[in-house]
A and B are shown apart, each in its own frame.
Chain A
């Protein structure tokens, strides 16, 4: 069964540095998402992406965040100047078709900011 893959599985970065988290969504999916989950807390929506542009974003997704689909397969989340509170698990997801469909999640990247 096709799956969403995320790399790296664990990223350790110094505060203030830039990080790029990478995702390969399922190939025929059209909608892409990023979520974060701080340890012990709920999964929080960050952003959705369709047709090469952001379709929705949450209050968490401020100017330090950006997303990109640099080629036909990858979907990236960039955090420009990391803060301690950015430490979390970041999940990528994708869904097919138009409108609301089940989302398929990767197993996440654990981001640790020192």
Chain B
């Protein structure tokens, strides 16, 4: 069955450092991979989408990489701020396959 893992349930980092979150998957052939942010009691908010033929995507302080050989995506937040504290979800999307979210990583950026 399809499985998505995100490196850790929780990650604490110091303000100003780069946060790196990992998403690994098995038994899935994604055409797209998306990253979302979810704050407590709120719906997920879209951040970045990367296609299977793209290696890297950037948006402001965010960077996503996608390695279909390793079946892995890395999500980086540079110069992290306390306001970046949230749960980050990766999501896979493939033709003929349901959209699937990972369990999320709860990021805490400490001042």
Contact = CB atoms under 8 A, between A and B. Distances in A.
B93 A43 contact: no
Contacts of A100: 31-32, 49, 93
A24 interface: no
Nearest to A48: B99
Interface residues of B, number: 20
A68 interface: no
A103 interface: yes
Contact of B99 (A45, A104, A106): A45
A102 B34 contact: yes
Interface residues of A, number: 22
Nearest to B42: A107
A43 to B, nearest CB: 4
B98 interface: yes
Contact of A105 (B45, B93, B99): B45
A102 B49 CA distance: 7
A58 interface: yes
Interface of B: 31-32, 34, 38, 41-46, 49, 89, 93, 98-104
Interface of A: 4, 33, 35, 41-45, 48, 56, 58, 91, 93, 100-108
